[in-house]
Structure formats: C-alpha cells, structure tokens
Amino acid sequence: MIKFYNIFKCKNYCFFVTNSLGELDFILPLILSIKKKLSDSKFSIFILSNKISLQFEENKMYKKLSLKLGVNVYSKSYKFNLKKKINSNTSHLIEILFIVFNLYSIIHHYLRNDLILIENSGRSLGSKFLRLIYFISKKKIILIPHTSSKINLKTKVKKFEKPIVFKKTPFMILNKSEIKYYKNFYFGEAVYFKNPINLEWKKFILKNFKKQKKENYMSIYLNNFIDKKTYLYLLLFTLKNIYKLNKNLKIYLKRHPRHFNFQIENSILRKVIKKFKKKLDIELSDENSSILSTFSVLNISLMSNSIFLCNEMNKNSVYFFLNSKEVRKRFKTLPFPLYQKNIKSFQGTKKINSFLKKVL
C-alpha cells in the first residue's frame, strides 16, 4: 500500500467520468481535498458519455459546485432527433458516435495531464476506449471508487463489481481494510486516500450554499430500479408511514443518478406522487446529494448506497431495506441506523415506526 501524496503529487489532474453522473459526488470532494494540499495544481473533468453530458448540462447544482471549486468541466453532448424509441443498440451507437466526434478532445485531455483518474468498474464504453489509448501511450492512472460504499465492508466482491479493464492499474482505497476486499481482482498497487466526503467537504457546502428551501424537508434516496417490486413496495411503505406521523413535512425524492429504465421509473414515480397528492407534499429533486442531505431534517436511503454520502453530511440518516442477508452482513458494522422490512409479514414495521416517530 502507498499513500497518495507520496507518489501522485502532480500539476495537472484529469478525471474521466465514464459510468454515471453520480461519480461527481465523490470526484468533487476528492478535488477539494487535493486542492487543500496542492493549491497550485489544476483540475479538469472530462465527461466521456453523451448521456451523462446531457444530464450534467441540465444539472445547475453540479455546474455550480464545479465552478466554486475552479474545475474545468468538458461536457459536450449531441441531441439526436430519433422518431423511434431509443433501445440499447441505438444508445450504444450514440455513445460510439460521441467518442468519434470528441476523439481529438479525448486524446488531448489524456495526453496533456499528468495523472488520469477513472471510475473503478471499467464497464462503460468510455473506459474501454481509454484502455485502448493506454496501450498506445502509457500514463499514470488511478482507479477511483464510484462511491465510498466499500468502507469496512467484509464480504467478497460480487461478479459485476470486478474491473473489466485496467486490472493492473493502481486503485484508490479509503480504508486500509479495503486491500483485502479488492486484492483478488485488482493486481495494481493500493493507493490510500483519506475519505474526502468528510467534515471539510461539509464545511465547503455550508460556506457556499445556504438552505434554499425555506420549509423543513426530508429526503428519500431511491435505488437503481433494478427490482421493480421491492423498489415500489419499499417506497410506498415509507410514504404511508410518514403520512401517519407527519403529513406536513415536505418530501423530496432523489433518484439514482444512473438512468436505468428511466421512462418506466419516471412513469411510476409520477403515479406515486399523484396517489399521495392530497396527503403529502412530494416532489422529485435533481439537487446535488451533498447539498440536499446537509439541510434535510432526515435522509432515508431505500436500499441505496447514497447512505454513505448522506451519513457523512448529516448524521440524521437511516437505511431501509427488504429481507436481505447480504445487506445485513455488509452494512452491520457501519455507523448509521439500519432497518429491515419483510414483505410477507409485519416484521420490522414496528421498529421503523418507532424510529420515524422519534425524528418526525
């Protein structure tokens, strides 16, 4: 294991965002931490995906955070007027065209910077393309965690979490126990960096962003809509119990940044909001998670890894999940309330209600 500042002190850092807009929730605090130590260094972010670029350009808070940090963000998207519904093949083709159209800029950013940082999964087309460039021109590269979600977790890496590319590249860890966690799948050196989502990042948020919403509110963070049944059940269960305890509290629903089955999820959420229209004041939020969670009365993560960021920004955060031995095993050592709800019984309902009653 090596410490980040022992080897990777550089003049120019470039972060390639390839997998999800949510990578910025970790990258931006990371940049702040490095800037505190290396004030003369310059930072740039290259969004290597048409879909993520479109999301970034519509997100005022990420733009404002980047501007406050003095980070140059390259985000150039293309809108295609397609009559037919976009399927996976069409989406893949659009991403290929995006890389072709931005070929010069991608290579230019890759070559001119001293250190390249890329999200650790390597599943995206952008990551695979960077791997191709890496074969031609070797650079210092570090794989960075997508979130701080691996801290203190003791289970093995799942199959889909294994890196597809850059297996021999140094990888960043936020806790020394993570070396054992990754060692079977990453063959590069472990690079230790103290978790940047910390008190320093919270102070930055409080200094630069005031509570814009005058009313008190709570935030509910949704998962990636992989399982429609558990997604909907857990959301409805949570809203019904909030209504019983405090129906006057504003509620913001924060979607997972990766737009998996976006249209289907969007349709369901609209129906849920309509269902509770006369009972609860619910609204979808696209505000940055750090800002949203900092000023919230309570953050509830519904089987979402947003809990790791929320808990650092606001200790009044809780994790609700459905019957999962895996979740209990992975998260039980972590410092936030953890509540399980069973679908086929009332198990967990009483404990969750007692918790909500205390905070609401």
Encoded tokens for 161: 């979490």
**Which pLDDT tens digit goes with each residue over 78-98?**
887 665 556 666 788 888 999
Give the orientation angle of helix 262-275 with respect to helix 228-245, to 10 degrees. Answer: 20
Encoded tokens for 337: 């309330």
**pTM here?**
0.86
Residue 243: is its pLDDT beyond 80? yes
> Using a CB cutoff of 8 Å and minimum separation of 24, what contacts does 326-334 make?
326/155, 327/303, 329/154, 329/155, 330/153, 330/154, 330/155, 331/153, 333/152, 333/154, 334/151, 334/152, 334/308
Question: 66, 35 in Cβ contact below 8 A?
Answer: no
Which region among 2-16, 44-58, 251-265, 269-283 has the lowest average model confidence (pLDDT)?
251-265
Residue 154: is its pLDDT beyond 70? no
DSSP 223-288: --SSSHHHHHHHHHHHHHHHHHH-TTSEEEEE--SS-TTHHHHHHHHHHHHHHTTTT--EEEE-S-
Which region among 115-129, 269-283, 302-316 has the lowest average model confidence (pLDDT)?
115-129
- Predicted confidence band of residue 152 (pLDDT cuts 50, 70, 90): very low
- Strands, sheet with 282-285, edge to edge from the N-terminal-most edge strand: 282-285, 250-254, 217-221, 299-302, 317-322, 338-341
Encoded tokens for 170: 């140094």
pLDDT for position 301: 94
**Which pLDDT tens digit goes with each residue over 169-211?**
898 988 777 777 677 677 889 999 998 989 999 999 998 887 6
Residue 62 is given by DSSP the state: H
> Which domains occur in the chain, in start order?
2-204 (3.40.50), 211-359 (3.40.50.2000)
**Which pLDDT tens digit goes with each residue over 303-355?**
888 888 899 999 999 999 887 777 777 777 777 888 888 877 777 788 888 88
Q: How many Cβ atoms from other residues are within 10 Å of residue 76's Cβ?
A: 13
Residue 177 is given by DSSP the state: T
Q: How many helices (H) and strands (E) does the chain have?
A: 15, 14
